[in-house]
Amino acid sequence: MKAFDLAKEVYAALGVDVESALGRVNEIPVSIHCWQGDDVNGFENDSALDGGIAVTGHHPGRARNADELRSDLDEVWKLVPGPKRLNIHAIYAETGGKKVSRDELTIDHFSRWIDWAKSSGSGLDFNPTCFSHPLASEGFTVSSPDAGVRDFWIRHCIACREIAAAMGRILKNPCVTNFWFPDGFKDTPYDRLAARERLRGALDEIFEKEIPREYNLDAVESKLFGIGAESCTVGSHEFYMGYAVSRGKLLCLDAGHFHPTEVISDKISSCLLYLDEILLHVSRGVRWDSDHVVTLNDELLAIAQEIIRHGFDKRVHIGLDYFDGSIDRIAAWAVGGRNMRKALLQAALEPASLLRAAEESGDNARRLALLEECRTLPFAPVWEEFCRRCGVPGSFDWYAEIERYRKDVTSKR
């Protein structure tokens, strides 16, 4: 008997239907972030990464242009099973070598990305890029006290929303547009309120035009602190929770954007009592918001469990957000993408009725015992089968493709 069939029997004895878990997990898209491929560089090629985020490492083979990045993404698509979307930042515009100001970007600058999305059958998500730019160098963008700076970034965000809506319309698949601003104070401000009022006002201007939800969904991303913005981040969690609830926007929870003992898995159920939908930036902070490659750790499993246990499959949009330039970038992408899918599959294989019955019986030791036993259920053969059905190499095979591609492609860059 094959390992998969044995595993199916083990799960069936616990009341778990493996086939329906496989089917369910294959309906949940994961949005893969384009910026892992080139260290959040983009194609403007004249400004270094800033905004309080940082990539470390100089691994060779970084994608230097859009064609290389798309070729690398084709590899990632071959190695990560399940439905995928591509998440693009505005700095990945293709302007044909011409300098185009960020407030003048249009859908035409993304037409080749749309072609790629069509040919790979993936939806697109989008982000204005409000960092790595001379007008962001003072640490403030849309909440700047300087009206000229503020207006420039508001125009950029409005342009991005139009681009996103066009992507959604063309692909017949709503684009999730995430708004994150690095705005914050390095040292203790006297007036926190004024900056937050300016941010709220700017957002209201950006979102003034109604865009149908079948084309575009706006998300706003909070943060605790960034490098150079240690004392006060204008767009804090409370700020954006209030904004999203009052304006009917999606809230974006980034796993690295809270105090180290706070976890976003615990926030999902609260947020979804008050919001229709949320966006996740799945990331892994090590000691700070370091954006390490996502591993299959307890928090990743807990995030997936929250989605699966409560049937939030359509209300939680899953995006990845990490960047490691110290190792093979395509492998980094594949490890994180595969882990996200693994976590969803493991969550879908939980013996839900047993766990719920244990909790309802009040026997907390039984609940603890069951949860611990779940960790060693025969998950691996089910994962292998999922990969096989998706036409993606299994656990100990996929890295060979990384090595082949490195030899044939990235080592020649």
**180 catalytic residue (yes or no):** yes
By CB under 6 A, residue 127 contacts ligand RNT: yes
Q: Binding to ligand RNT by residue 183, rule CB under 6 A?
A: no
Please identify, using beta-carbon distances, which residue of 90 and 355 lies nearer to ligand RNT: 90
> In terms of Cα–Cα distance, which of 168, 160, 82 is closest to 123?
168
Task: Check: CB of residue 39 under 8 Å from CB of residue 62.
Answer: yes
Instruction: Give the C-alpha distances (Å, rounded to integers) separating 329 from 25, 65, 340, 393, 410.
Output: 26, 15, 17, 18, 10
Which listed residue (7, 30, 40, 166) binds ligand RNT by CB under 6 A? 40
Q: Which is nearer to ligand RNT, 21 or 130 (CB)?
A: 130
Catalytic option among 299, 321, 324, 328: 321
Specify whether the CB–CB gap between 144 and 138 falls below 8 A: yes
Our answer to whether residue 151 is catalytic in this structure is no
The yes-or-no answer on residue 281 being catalytic is yes
Calpha distance 309→265 (Å, rounded): 12
Contacts with ligand RNT in 267-306 (CB under 6 A)? 281, 289
- Active-site hit among 75, 221, 324, 385: 221
Site residues (CB under 5 A) for Zn ion, limited to 221-260: 254
State yes or no: residue 321 binds ligand RNT (CB under 6 A): yes
How far is residue 214's CA from residue 207's CA, in Å, rounded to a whole number? Answer: 16
Report if residue 180 touches ligand RNT, rule: CB under 6 A.
yes
Q: Report the C-alpha gap between 292 and 335 in whole angstroms.
A: 11
Residues 215-244, one symbol each (x = binds ligand RNT by CB under 6 A, - = not), give ------x-x---------------------
What residues from 259 to 288 belong to the interface with Zn ion (CB under 5 A)?
Answer: 281
Min. distance of Cβ 136 from Zn ion in angstroms? Answer: 16
Which residues, 6+ apart, have CB-to-CB distance to 334 below 8 Å? 75, 76, 79, 80, 398, 402
Closest distance of CB 42 from ligand RNT, Å: 10
Say if residues 199 and 183 touch (Cβ distance below 8 Å). yes
Size of the site for ligand RNT (CB under 6 A): 11
CB of 221 to ligand RNT, least distance (A): 5
- Write down the catalytic residue from 39, 125, 183, 289: 289
Q: Distances in Å between the alpha carbon of 162 and those of 95, 172, 370?
A: 17, 15, 49
8 A C-beta contact, residue 369 and residue 24: no
DSSP 312-357: -TTTEEEEE-----SS-HHHHHHHHHHHHHHHHHHHHTS-HHHHHH
Looking at beta carbons only, is 18 or 250 nearer to Zn ion?
250
By CB under 6 A, residue 125 contacts ligand RNT: no
Angle at 340 between CA 337 and CA 343, to 5 degrees: 150
Residues that bind ligand RNT (CB under 6 A): 35, 40, 53, 127, 180, 221, 223, 254, 281, 289, 321
Residues that bind Zn ion (CB under 5 A): 254, 281, 321
Q: Which residues are catalytic?
A: 180, 221, 223, 254, 257, 281, 289, 291, 321
